[in-house]
Structure 1
Amino acid sequence: MLDDFLVRAALAGLGVMIAAAPLGCFVVWRRMAYFGDAVSHAAILGVALSFGFQISIFAGVLVMAVGMALLLNLLSSRGHSYDAALGVLAHSALAAGLVAVSLLGTVRIDLMAFLFGDILAVDRGELGVIWAGGAVVLGLILSRWNALLTATLNPDLAHASGINPKRADLVITLALAITIAVALKVVGALLISALLIIPAATARVAARTPEAMAIIAAALGAVSVLGGLWVSFQLDTPTGPTIVCVAAGLFALGNIAQAVRGAAR
Protein backbone atom coordinates (compact mmCIF):
# COMPACT_ATOMS: atom_id res chain seq x y z
CA MET A 1 0.00 0.00 0.00
CA LEU A 2 2.81 2.41 0.85
CA ASP A 3 4.18 2.03 -2.69
CA ASP A 4 1.48 4.44 -3.84
CA PHE A 5 2.92 7.96 -3.58
CA LEU A 6 -0.54 9.49 -3.08
CA VAL A 7 -1.18 7.22 -0.10
CA ARG A 8 2.17 8.21 1.43
CA ALA A 9 1.37 11.88 0.79
CA ALA A 10 -2.05 11.56 2.45
CA LEU A 11 -0.56 9.77 5.46
CA ALA A 12 2.17 12.41 5.73
CA GLY A 13 -0.37 15.24 5.70
CA LEU A 14 -2.54 13.51 8.30
CA GLY A 15 0.54 12.85 10.45
CA VAL A 16 1.35 16.55 10.45
CA MET A 17 -2.22 17.48 11.31
CA ILE A 18 -2.34 15.35 14.47
CA ALA A 19 0.32 17.73 15.79
CA ALA A 20 -0.72 20.94 14.05
CA ALA A 21 -4.42 20.89 15.00
CA PRO A 22 -4.20 21.06 18.82
CA LEU A 23 -1.02 23.14 18.69
CA GLY A 24 -2.65 25.56 16.27
CA CYS A 25 -5.38 26.21 18.84
CA PHE A 26 -2.77 27.38 21.35
CA VAL A 27 -1.10 29.48 18.65
CA VAL A 28 -4.44 31.20 17.99
CA TRP A 29 -5.32 31.62 21.68
CA ARG A 30 -1.87 33.01 22.49
CA ARG A 31 -1.76 35.21 19.36
CA MET A 32 1.52 33.60 18.32
CA ALA A 33 1.00 33.68 14.55
CA TYR A 34 4.05 35.83 13.85
CA PHE A 35 6.07 33.85 16.38
CA GLY A 36 5.33 30.74 14.32
CA ASP A 37 6.42 32.56 11.16
CA ALA A 38 9.74 33.58 12.70
CA VAL A 39 10.49 30.06 13.92
CA SER A 40 9.47 28.45 10.61
CA HIS A 41 11.70 30.83 8.62
CA ALA A 42 14.66 29.51 10.58
CA ALA A 43 13.95 26.10 9.03
CA ILE A 44 15.74 27.05 5.80
CA LEU A 45 18.90 27.88 7.75
CA GLY A 46 18.49 24.52 9.49
CA VAL A 47 18.30 22.79 6.09
CA ALA A 48 21.53 24.50 4.96
CA LEU A 49 23.33 23.51 8.17
CA SER A 50 22.07 19.94 7.81
CA PHE A 51 23.62 19.61 4.37
CA GLY A 52 26.77 21.46 5.42
CA PHE A 53 27.42 19.20 8.42
CA GLN A 54 25.87 16.09 6.81
CA ILE A 55 23.31 15.49 9.54
CA SER A 56 19.61 14.67 9.45
CA ILE A 57 17.48 17.46 8.01
CA PHE A 58 14.93 16.87 10.76
CA ALA A 59 17.65 17.34 13.41
CA GLY A 60 19.05 20.49 11.77
CA VAL A 61 15.65 22.11 11.39
CA LEU A 62 14.64 21.16 14.94
CA VAL A 63 17.82 22.68 16.41
CA MET A 64 17.39 25.92 14.48
CA ALA A 65 13.68 26.18 15.31
CA VAL A 66 14.30 25.68 19.03
CA GLY A 67 17.22 28.13 18.89
CA MET A 68 15.10 30.77 17.16
CA ALA A 69 12.29 30.37 19.69
CA LEU A 70 14.67 30.68 22.64
CA LEU A 71 16.37 33.70 21.08
CA LEU A 72 13.02 35.43 20.60
CA ASN A 73 12.12 34.83 24.24
CA LEU A 74 15.53 36.12 25.34
CA LEU A 75 15.28 39.33 23.32
CA SER A 76 11.75 40.05 24.52
CA SER A 77 12.81 39.51 28.14
CA ARG A 78 15.68 41.97 27.64
CA GLY A 79 13.28 44.80 26.86
CA HIS A 80 13.29 44.66 23.06
CA SER A 81 9.99 45.27 21.31
CA TYR A 82 8.47 41.87 20.62
CA ASP A 83 7.17 42.93 17.20
CA ALA A 84 10.55 44.36 16.24
CA ALA A 85 12.39 41.24 17.44
CA LEU A 86 10.02 39.04 15.44
CA GLY A 87 10.49 41.10 12.30
CA VAL A 88 14.27 41.25 12.57
CA LEU A 89 14.80 37.57 13.37
CA ALA A 90 12.22 36.17 10.96
CA HIS A 91 13.56 37.94 7.90
CA SER A 92 17.19 37.64 8.97
CA ALA A 93 16.85 33.88 9.45
CA LEU A 94 15.21 33.44 6.06
CA ALA A 95 17.82 35.59 4.32
CA ALA A 96 20.69 33.83 6.12
CA GLY A 97 19.24 30.47 5.16
CA LEU A 98 19.01 31.41 1.48
CA VAL A 99 22.58 32.74 1.52
CA ALA A 100 23.83 29.61 3.30
CA VAL A 101 22.13 27.39 0.71
CA SER A 102 23.85 29.29 -2.11
CA LEU A 103 27.23 28.78 -0.43
CA LEU A 104 26.94 24.99 -0.30
CA GLY A 105 28.51 24.81 -3.75
CA THR A 106 28.55 21.17 -4.88
CA VAL A 107 25.39 20.23 -2.94
CA ARG A 108 22.25 20.46 -5.07
CA ILE A 109 19.16 21.53 -3.11
CA ASP A 110 15.62 21.90 -4.44
CA LEU A 111 14.95 25.15 -2.62
CA MET A 112 11.34 25.37 -3.81
CA ALA A 113 10.60 22.03 -2.14
CA PHE A 114 11.78 23.38 1.22
CA LEU A 115 10.03 26.73 0.78
CA PHE A 116 6.65 25.38 -0.38
CA GLY A 117 6.81 21.67 0.44
CA ASP A 118 7.11 18.51 -1.63
CA ILE A 119 4.58 16.18 -0.03
CA LEU A 120 4.36 13.94 -3.10
CA ALA A 121 8.04 12.98 -2.66
CA VAL A 122 7.70 11.75 0.94
CA ASP A 123 9.37 8.35 1.33
CA ARG A 124 8.80 5.66 3.95
CA GLY A 125 11.55 6.90 6.26
CA GLU A 126 10.25 10.48 6.18
CA LEU A 127 6.73 9.20 6.78
CA GLY A 128 7.93 7.44 9.92
CA VAL A 129 9.67 10.62 11.14
CA ILE A 130 6.54 12.69 10.50
CA TRP A 131 4.26 10.34 12.44
CA ALA A 132 6.77 9.95 15.26
CA GLY A 133 7.14 13.73 15.57
CA GLY A 134 3.38 14.22 15.41
CA ALA A 135 2.85 11.62 18.12
CA VAL A 136 5.43 13.30 20.38
CA VAL A 137 3.74 16.70 19.97
CA LEU A 138 0.28 15.23 20.56
CA GLY A 139 1.54 13.42 23.65
CA LEU A 140 3.16 16.59 25.00
CA ILE A 141 -0.01 18.61 24.56
CA LEU A 142 -2.43 15.97 25.89
CA SER A 143 -0.28 15.23 28.94
CA ARG A 144 -0.15 18.94 29.82
CA TRP A 145 -3.52 20.01 28.39
CA ASN A 146 -5.09 21.46 31.56
CA ALA A 147 -1.90 23.23 32.63
CA LEU A 148 -1.32 24.66 29.14
CA LEU A 149 -4.92 25.78 28.84
CA THR A 150 -4.93 27.48 32.25
CA ALA A 151 -1.59 29.22 31.62
CA THR A 152 -2.87 30.39 28.23
CA LEU A 153 -6.29 31.69 29.27
CA ASN A 154 -5.50 33.01 32.76
CA PRO A 155 -1.83 33.28 33.86
CA ASP A 156 -2.87 34.63 37.30
CA LEU A 157 -5.05 31.59 37.92
CA ALA A 158 -2.18 29.39 36.75
CA HIS A 159 0.12 30.94 39.36
CA ALA A 160 -2.51 30.49 42.05
CA SER A 161 -2.95 26.84 41.03
CA GLY A 162 0.77 26.15 41.25
CA ILE A 163 1.25 26.01 37.48
CA ASN A 164 4.46 27.55 36.13
CA PRO A 165 3.54 29.60 33.00
CA LYS A 166 7.19 29.58 31.86
CA ARG A 167 7.13 25.78 31.78
CA ALA A 168 3.96 25.98 29.68
CA ASP A 169 5.73 28.40 27.34
CA LEU A 170 8.61 25.94 27.02
CA VAL A 171 6.26 23.06 26.16
CA ILE A 172 4.52 25.15 23.47
CA THR A 173 7.90 26.27 22.09
CA LEU A 174 9.23 22.71 21.90
CA ALA A 175 6.01 21.42 20.33
CA LEU A 176 6.10 24.24 17.77
CA ALA A 177 9.72 23.44 16.84
CA ILE A 178 8.95 19.73 16.36
CA THR A 179 5.86 20.49 14.29
CA ILE A 180 7.82 22.81 12.02
CA ALA A 181 10.52 20.17 11.57
CA VAL A 182 8.03 17.47 10.54
CA ALA A 183 5.82 19.78 8.44
CA LEU A 184 8.68 21.17 6.33
CA LYS A 185 8.34 18.38 3.74
CA VAL A 186 4.56 18.77 3.57
CA VAL A 187 3.92 22.50 3.09
CA GLY A 188 7.36 24.14 3.28
CA ALA A 189 8.84 26.80 5.52
CA LEU A 190 6.72 29.65 4.15
CA LEU A 191 3.35 27.93 4.63
CA ILE A 192 3.76 26.03 7.89
CA SER A 193 2.15 28.79 9.95
CA ALA A 194 -0.89 28.75 7.67
CA LEU A 195 -1.42 25.05 8.35
CA LEU A 196 -1.21 25.76 12.08
CA ILE A 197 -3.48 28.79 12.16
CA ILE A 198 -6.20 28.42 9.51
CA PRO A 199 -7.89 25.18 10.69
CA ALA A 200 -7.79 26.39 14.30
CA ALA A 201 -9.20 29.81 13.35
CA THR A 202 -11.98 28.10 11.37
CA ALA A 203 -12.79 25.75 14.25
CA ARG A 204 -13.04 28.71 16.63
CA VAL A 205 -16.18 29.85 14.80
CA ALA A 206 -18.08 26.64 15.56
CA ALA A 207 -16.56 25.34 18.79
CA ARG A 208 -18.06 25.94 22.23
CA THR A 209 -15.22 24.47 24.29
CA PRO A 210 -11.42 24.37 23.88
CA GLU A 211 -11.51 20.59 23.48
CA ALA A 212 -14.16 20.83 20.77
CA MET A 213 -12.06 23.45 18.98
CA ALA A 214 -9.04 21.13 18.90
CA ILE A 215 -11.12 18.21 17.58
CA ILE A 216 -12.84 20.33 14.92
CA ALA A 217 -9.47 21.82 13.90
CA ALA A 218 -8.09 18.29 13.43
CA ALA A 219 -11.07 17.32 11.27
CA LEU A 220 -10.76 20.49 9.18
CA GLY A 221 -7.02 19.93 8.83
CA ALA A 222 -7.63 16.38 7.57
CA VAL A 223 -10.21 17.64 5.06
CA SER A 224 -7.76 20.33 3.92
CA VAL A 225 -4.97 17.79 3.37
CA LEU A 226 -7.09 15.23 1.54
CA GLY A 227 -9.01 17.87 -0.40
CA GLY A 228 -5.82 19.70 -1.31
CA LEU A 229 -4.25 16.48 -2.59
CA TRP A 230 -7.31 15.73 -4.72
CA VAL A 231 -7.51 19.27 -6.18
CA SER A 232 -3.77 19.31 -6.83
CA PHE A 233 -3.97 15.94 -8.63
CA GLN A 234 -6.92 17.10 -10.75
CA LEU A 235 -5.58 20.55 -11.66
CA ASP A 236 -1.83 19.76 -11.60
CA THR A 237 -1.14 22.56 -9.09
CA PRO A 238 1.56 22.73 -6.37
CA THR A 239 0.30 20.45 -3.60
CA GLY A 240 1.44 22.34 -0.48
CA PRO A 241 -0.05 25.69 -1.54
CA THR A 242 -3.21 23.91 -2.74
CA ILE A 243 -3.69 22.34 0.70
CA VAL A 244 -3.45 25.80 2.27
CA CYS A 245 -5.90 27.20 -0.31
CA VAL A 246 -8.44 24.50 0.59
CA ALA A 247 -7.97 25.35 4.28
CA ALA A 248 -8.52 29.04 3.46
CA GLY A 249 -11.66 28.15 1.51
CA LEU A 250 -13.03 26.27 4.54
CA PHE A 251 -12.24 29.32 6.68
CA ALA A 252 -14.20 31.55 4.29
CA LEU A 253 -17.15 29.14 4.23
CA GLY A 254 -17.16 28.92 8.02
CA ASN A 255 -17.28 32.68 8.42
CA ILE A 256 -19.97 33.04 5.73
CA ALA A 257 -22.08 30.42 7.53
CA GLN A 258 -21.64 32.26 10.82
CA ALA A 259 -22.67 35.55 9.21
CA VAL A 260 -25.77 33.95 7.68
CA ARG A 261 -26.77 32.45 11.04
CA GLY A 262 -26.23 35.80 12.72
CA ALA A 263 -28.38 37.59 10.15
CA ALA A 264 -31.15 35.01 10.50
CA ARG A 265 -31.54 35.62 14.24
Structure 2
Amino acid sequence: MMILDSFLIRAALAGVGVALAAAPLGCFVVWRRMAYFGDATAHASILGIALALSFDTSVFVGVLAMALIMATVVSTLSGRGYAVDTLLGVLAHSSLAFGLVAVSFLHGVRLDLMAYLFGDILAVGVSDLLVIWGGAILVVALLWWRWSALLTATLNPDLAYAAGIDPKREQLVLTLALSVVVAVAIKVVGVLLIAAMLIIPAATARPFAGTPERMTVIAAITGGASALGGLQLAFMFDTPTGPTIVCLAACLFALSSLKQLFYRA
Protein backbone atom coordinates (compact mmCIF):
# COMPACT_ATOMS: atom_id res chain seq x y z
CA MET A 1 0.00 0.00 0.00
CA MET A 2 3.05 2.31 0.28
CA ILE A 3 2.88 3.01 -3.45
CA LEU A 4 -0.55 4.58 -2.88
CA ASP A 5 0.95 7.11 -0.46
CA SER A 6 1.79 9.32 -3.45
CA PHE A 7 -1.10 11.55 -4.44
CA LEU A 8 0.09 11.49 -8.07
CA ILE A 9 -0.08 7.69 -8.18
CA ARG A 10 -3.58 7.76 -6.70
CA ALA A 11 -4.61 10.44 -9.21
CA ALA A 12 -3.21 8.43 -12.13
CA LEU A 13 -4.99 5.25 -11.02
CA ALA A 14 -8.23 7.19 -10.56
CA GLY A 15 -8.00 8.70 -14.05
CA VAL A 16 -7.33 5.33 -15.68
CA GLY A 17 -10.17 3.72 -13.69
CA VAL A 18 -12.66 6.35 -14.87
CA ALA A 19 -11.41 6.00 -18.46
CA LEU A 20 -11.94 2.23 -18.38
CA ALA A 21 -15.46 2.66 -17.01
CA ALA A 22 -16.41 5.45 -19.41
CA ALA A 23 -14.95 4.03 -22.65
CA PRO A 24 -17.36 1.17 -23.44
CA LEU A 25 -20.34 3.11 -22.16
CA GLY A 26 -19.27 6.18 -24.13
CA CYS A 27 -19.34 4.13 -27.34
CA PHE A 28 -22.99 3.26 -26.73
CA VAL A 29 -23.72 6.91 -25.87
CA VAL A 30 -22.25 7.92 -29.26
CA TRP A 31 -23.99 5.13 -31.19
CA ARG A 32 -27.36 5.89 -29.58
CA ARG A 33 -26.89 9.67 -29.71
CA MET A 34 -27.45 9.91 -25.96
CA ALA A 35 -24.96 12.71 -25.28
CA TYR A 36 -27.52 14.96 -23.63
CA PHE A 37 -28.69 12.04 -21.51
CA GLY A 38 -25.24 11.84 -19.94
CA ASP A 39 -25.33 15.58 -19.24
CA ALA A 40 -28.73 15.36 -17.56
CA THR A 41 -27.64 12.48 -15.34
CA ALA A 42 -24.45 14.28 -14.37
CA HIS A 43 -26.24 17.54 -13.54
CA ALA A 44 -28.65 15.69 -11.28
CA SER A 45 -25.72 14.54 -9.18
CA ILE A 46 -25.33 18.01 -7.60
CA LEU A 47 -28.74 17.54 -6.01
CA GLY A 48 -27.58 14.09 -4.89
CA ILE A 49 -24.53 15.66 -3.22
CA ALA A 50 -26.69 18.17 -1.35
CA LEU A 51 -29.08 15.46 -0.15
CA ALA A 52 -26.20 13.19 0.90
CA LEU A 53 -24.62 15.95 2.99
CA SER A 54 -27.99 16.91 4.48
CA PHE A 55 -28.64 13.35 5.66
CA ASP A 56 -24.98 12.76 6.61
CA THR A 57 -24.54 9.83 4.25
CA SER A 58 -22.00 8.89 1.59
CA VAL A 59 -21.74 11.32 -1.33
CA PHE A 60 -21.30 8.34 -3.65
CA VAL A 61 -24.61 6.87 -2.47
CA GLY A 62 -26.40 10.21 -2.87
CA VAL A 63 -25.03 10.78 -6.37
CA LEU A 64 -25.79 7.23 -7.48
CA ALA A 65 -29.35 7.40 -6.12
CA MET A 66 -30.06 10.74 -7.82
CA ALA A 67 -28.53 9.58 -11.10
CA LEU A 68 -30.70 6.45 -11.03
CA ILE A 69 -33.81 8.53 -10.33
CA MET A 70 -32.99 10.85 -13.23
CA ALA A 71 -32.39 7.92 -15.57
CA THR A 72 -35.67 6.30 -14.53
CA VAL A 73 -37.66 9.52 -14.99
CA VAL A 74 -36.22 10.11 -18.46
CA SER A 75 -36.84 6.50 -19.52
CA THR A 76 -40.44 6.68 -18.22
CA LEU A 77 -41.39 10.04 -19.75
CA SER A 78 -39.67 9.66 -23.12
CA GLY A 79 -42.07 8.59 -25.82
CA ARG A 80 -45.10 9.87 -23.89
CA GLY A 81 -45.68 13.10 -25.76
CA TYR A 82 -42.37 14.71 -24.82
CA ALA A 83 -39.53 15.24 -27.27
CA VAL A 84 -36.46 13.62 -25.74
CA ASP A 85 -34.14 16.60 -26.27
CA THR A 86 -36.69 18.96 -24.70
CA LEU A 87 -37.25 16.62 -21.77
CA LEU A 88 -33.54 16.21 -21.16
CA GLY A 89 -32.96 19.97 -21.40
CA VAL A 90 -35.65 20.71 -18.81
CA LEU A 91 -34.49 17.99 -16.41
CA ALA A 92 -30.76 18.70 -16.77
CA HIS A 93 -30.93 22.42 -16.04
CA SER A 94 -33.70 22.11 -13.46
CA SER A 95 -31.87 19.47 -11.44
CA LEU A 96 -28.62 21.48 -11.57
CA ALA A 97 -30.44 24.64 -10.41
CA PHE A 98 -32.28 22.81 -7.60
CA GLY A 99 -28.98 21.20 -6.58
CA LEU A 100 -27.15 24.52 -6.38
CA VAL A 101 -30.02 26.07 -4.39
CA ALA A 102 -30.07 23.07 -2.03
CA VAL A 103 -26.31 23.41 -1.49
CA SER A 104 -26.81 27.05 -0.43
CA PHE A 105 -28.99 25.86 2.46
CA LEU A 106 -26.24 23.67 3.89
CA HIS A 107 -24.88 25.43 6.97
CA GLY A 108 -21.97 24.17 9.01
CA VAL A 109 -20.89 21.85 6.20
CA ARG A 110 -17.54 22.45 4.53
CA LEU A 111 -18.23 22.02 0.82
CA ASP A 112 -15.85 22.77 -2.04
CA LEU A 113 -18.43 23.21 -4.79
CA MET A 114 -15.77 23.84 -7.45
CA ALA A 115 -14.25 20.43 -6.73
CA TYR A 116 -17.60 18.76 -7.44
CA LEU A 117 -18.24 20.87 -10.55
CA PHE A 118 -14.80 20.44 -12.14
CA GLY A 119 -13.31 17.51 -10.23
CA ASP A 120 -10.44 17.26 -7.76
CA ILE A 121 -8.43 14.26 -8.89
CA LEU A 122 -5.43 15.24 -6.76
CA ALA A 123 -7.54 14.81 -3.60
CA VAL A 124 -8.48 11.20 -4.40
CA GLY A 125 -7.87 8.89 -1.44
CA VAL A 126 -7.49 5.13 -1.17
CA SER A 127 -11.19 4.72 -0.34
CA ASP A 128 -12.06 6.77 -3.44
CA LEU A 129 -9.86 4.50 -5.52
CA LEU A 130 -11.72 1.46 -4.23
CA VAL A 131 -15.03 3.07 -5.22
CA ILE A 132 -13.76 4.13 -8.67
CA TRP A 133 -12.23 0.76 -9.56
CA GLY A 134 -15.13 -1.15 -8.04
CA GLY A 135 -17.53 0.89 -10.18
CA ALA A 136 -15.34 0.45 -13.27
CA ILE A 137 -15.23 -3.33 -12.83
CA LEU A 138 -19.01 -3.41 -12.28
CA VAL A 139 -19.70 -1.37 -15.44
CA VAL A 140 -17.30 -3.38 -17.61
CA ALA A 141 -18.71 -6.68 -16.30
CA LEU A 142 -22.30 -5.53 -16.88
CA LEU A 143 -21.59 -4.42 -20.45
CA TRP A 144 -19.56 -7.58 -21.16
CA TRP A 145 -22.48 -9.71 -19.97
CA ARG A 146 -25.06 -7.81 -22.07
CA TRP A 147 -22.75 -6.87 -24.98
CA SER A 148 -24.47 -8.85 -27.75
CA ALA A 149 -27.98 -7.87 -26.67
CA LEU A 150 -27.00 -4.21 -26.19
CA LEU A 151 -25.34 -4.08 -29.60
CA THR A 152 -28.31 -5.67 -31.35
CA ALA A 153 -30.79 -3.35 -29.62
CA THR A 154 -28.63 -0.35 -30.54
CA LEU A 155 -28.14 -1.22 -34.21
CA ASN A 156 -31.63 -2.50 -35.01
CA PRO A 157 -34.48 -2.51 -32.44
CA ASP A 158 -36.74 -4.48 -34.81
CA LEU A 159 -34.12 -7.21 -35.17
CA ALA A 160 -33.73 -7.19 -31.39
CA TYR A 161 -37.46 -7.82 -30.93
CA ALA A 162 -37.31 -10.65 -33.47
CA ALA A 163 -34.42 -12.19 -31.52
CA GLY A 164 -36.37 -12.01 -28.26
CA ILE A 165 -34.43 -9.02 -26.93
CA ASP A 166 -36.32 -6.17 -25.27
CA PRO A 167 -34.67 -2.86 -26.35
CA LYS A 168 -36.20 -1.01 -23.38
CA ARG A 169 -34.62 -3.49 -20.98
CA GLU A 170 -31.25 -2.99 -22.65
CA GLN A 171 -31.65 0.78 -22.40
CA LEU A 172 -32.30 0.32 -18.68
CA VAL A 173 -29.01 -1.60 -18.43
CA LEU A 174 -27.25 1.33 -20.11
CA THR A 175 -28.87 3.89 -17.81
CA LEU A 176 -27.84 1.84 -14.78
CA ALA A 177 -24.24 1.70 -16.04
CA LEU A 178 -24.33 5.42 -16.83
CA SER A 179 -25.46 6.20 -13.29
CA VAL A 180 -22.55 4.20 -11.85
CA VAL A 181 -20.04 5.98 -14.12
CA VAL A 182 -21.37 9.39 -13.08
CA ALA A 183 -21.10 8.44 -9.42
CA VAL A 184 -17.48 7.23 -9.70
CA ALA A 185 -16.27 9.96 -12.09
CA ILE A 186 -17.50 12.99 -10.15
CA LYS A 187 -14.38 13.06 -7.97
CA VAL A 188 -12.06 12.96 -10.99
CA VAL A 189 -13.55 15.29 -13.61
CA GLY A 190 -16.58 16.78 -11.87
CA VAL A 191 -20.22 17.21 -12.82
CA LEU A 192 -19.68 19.56 -15.75
CA LEU A 193 -17.03 17.43 -17.47
CA ILE A 194 -18.32 13.87 -17.01
CA ALA A 195 -20.23 13.88 -20.30
CA ALA A 196 -17.07 15.04 -22.08
CA MET A 197 -15.10 12.02 -20.83
CA LEU A 198 -17.92 9.75 -21.98
CA ILE A 199 -18.24 11.20 -25.46
CA ILE A 200 -14.86 12.57 -26.58
CA PRO A 201 -12.73 9.38 -26.32
CA ALA A 202 -15.46 7.37 -28.09
CA ALA A 203 -15.80 10.00 -30.82
CA THR A 204 -11.99 10.07 -31.19
CA ALA A 205 -11.86 6.29 -31.61
CA ARG A 206 -14.61 6.12 -34.23
CA PRO A 207 -12.51 6.90 -37.37
CA PHE A 208 -9.96 4.23 -36.43
CA ALA A 209 -12.36 1.42 -35.54
CA GLY A 210 -13.57 -1.20 -38.00
CA THR A 211 -15.61 -3.06 -35.37
CA PRO A 212 -17.53 -2.04 -32.22
CA GLU A 213 -15.09 -4.00 -30.06
CA ARG A 214 -12.08 -2.22 -31.55
CA MET A 215 -13.76 1.15 -31.03
CA THR A 216 -14.24 0.31 -27.36
CA VAL A 217 -10.56 -0.63 -26.92
CA ILE A 218 -9.32 2.48 -28.73
CA ALA A 219 -11.70 4.66 -26.68
CA ALA A 220 -10.32 3.15 -23.46
CA ILE A 221 -6.74 3.81 -24.59
CA THR A 222 -7.65 7.37 -25.61
CA GLY A 223 -9.39 8.03 -22.31
CA GLY A 224 -6.50 6.60 -20.31
CA ALA A 225 -3.94 8.61 -22.30
CA SER A 226 -6.01 11.77 -21.80
CA ALA A 227 -6.18 11.18 -18.05
CA LEU A 228 -2.44 10.49 -17.64
CA GLY A 229 -1.33 13.17 -20.11
CA GLY A 230 -3.73 15.74 -18.69
CA LEU A 231 -2.47 15.01 -15.18
CA GLN A 232 1.12 15.54 -16.34
CA LEU A 233 0.28 18.79 -18.17
CA ALA A 234 -1.68 20.14 -15.20
CA PHE A 235 1.30 19.40 -12.94
CA MET A 236 3.70 21.11 -15.36
CA PHE A 237 1.65 24.24 -16.07
CA ASP A 238 -0.27 24.48 -12.77
CA THR A 239 -3.68 24.32 -14.45
CA PRO A 240 -6.96 22.76 -13.16
CA THR A 241 -6.54 19.01 -13.58
CA GLY A 242 -10.06 17.95 -14.63
CA PRO A 243 -10.42 20.59 -17.37
CA THR A 244 -6.85 19.90 -18.55
CA ILE A 245 -7.70 16.20 -18.99
CA VAL A 246 -10.73 17.13 -21.09
CA CYS A 247 -8.70 19.67 -23.11
CA LEU A 248 -6.17 16.99 -24.02
CA ALA A 249 -8.99 14.61 -24.98
CA ALA A 250 -10.43 17.37 -27.19
CA CYS A 251 -7.03 17.85 -28.88
CA LEU A 252 -6.85 14.11 -29.60
CA PHE A 253 -10.34 14.31 -31.08
CA ALA A 254 -9.24 17.21 -33.30
CA LEU A 255 -6.29 15.14 -34.56
CA SER A 256 -8.55 12.16 -35.31
CA SER A 257 -10.95 14.47 -37.15
CA LEU A 258 -8.08 15.80 -39.29
CA LYS A 259 -7.07 12.24 -40.12
CA GLN A 260 -10.62 11.47 -41.21
CA LEU A 261 -10.82 14.65 -43.34
CA PHE A 262 -7.52 13.94 -45.10
CA TYR A 263 -8.49 10.30 -45.62
CA ARG A 264 -11.76 11.31 -47.31
CA ALA A 265 -9.98 13.92 -49.42
Q: Give TM-score scaled by structure 1 length.
A: 0.98
Q: Does 1:68 align with 2:60?
A: no
Output the CA distance in 1 between the equivalents of 2:43 and 2:250.
21
Aligned to 1:206: 208
Letter of the aligned partner of 2:255 in structure 1?
Answer: L
| SS of residue matched to 1:104 | coil
- Counterpart pick for 1:111 among 110, 113, 125: 113
Aligned to 2:128: 126
Decide whether aligned partners of structure 1 residues 52 and 253 sit closer, same or farther in structure 2, where only a CA change above 3 A counts.
Answer: same
1:67-99 residue CA offsets vs partner (Å, 9 max, x unmatched): 001111222232122121111110000000000
Aligned to 1:252: 254
Q: Please, which runs of 5 or more residues in structure 2 have no aligned partner? A: none
1:19-57 residue CA offsets vs partner (Å, 9 max, x unmatched): 100000000000000011001000100000110001111
Letter of the aligned partner of 1:120 in structure 2?
Answer: L
| SS of residue matched to 2:206 | helix
Output the CA distance in 2 between the equivalents of 1:84 and 1:8.
39
Output the CA distance in 1 between the equivalents of 2:172 and 2:264.
39
- Counterpart pick for 1:231 among 217, 230, 233: 233
Q: Does 1:38 align with 2:40?
A: yes
Q: Does 1:84 align with 2:93?
A: no
| Aligned residues: CA RMSD | 0.7
Aligned to 1:194: 196
1:3-33 residue CA offsets vs partner (Å, 9 max, x unmatched): 1101000000111111100000000000000
- Counterpart pick for 2:9 among 7, 10, 22: 7
1:160-206 residue CA offsets vs partner (Å, 9 max, x unmatched): 11111111011000000000000000000000000000000010011
Output the CA distance in 2 between the equivalents of 1:189 and 1:217.
21
Letter of the aligned partner of 1:192 in structure 2?
Answer: I
Output the CA distance in 1 between the equivalents of 2:71 and 2:100.
19
1:115-167 residue CA offsets vs partner (Å, 9 max, x unmatched): 00000000000110000001000000001100000000100110111111111
Q: Please, which runs of 5 or more residues in structure 1 have no aligned partner? A: none
Output the CA distance in 1 between the equivalents of 2:132 and 2:78.
31
When structure 1 is superposed on structure 2, of 222-231 and 75-84 the one drifting more is: 75-84
| SS of residue matched to 1:67 | helix
Letter of the aligned partner of 1:198 in structure 2?
Answer: I
1:190-239 residue CA offsets vs partner (Å, 9 max, x unmatched): 00000000000010011000000000000000110010001000000000
Output the CA distance in 2 between the equivalents of 1:124 and 1:143.
28
- Give the aligned length: 263
| SS of residue matched to 1:186 | coil
Output the CA distance in 1 between the equivalents of 2:68 and 2:79.
17
Aligned to 2:104: 102
Moved over 4 A (4+): none
Letter of the aligned partner of 1:99 in structure 2?
Answer: V
Output the CA distance in 2 between the equivalents of 1:83 and 1:25.
19
Output the CA distance in 1 between the equivalents of 2:97 and 2:64.
18
Q: Does 1:140 align with 2:142?
A: yes
| SS of residue matched to 2:235 | helix
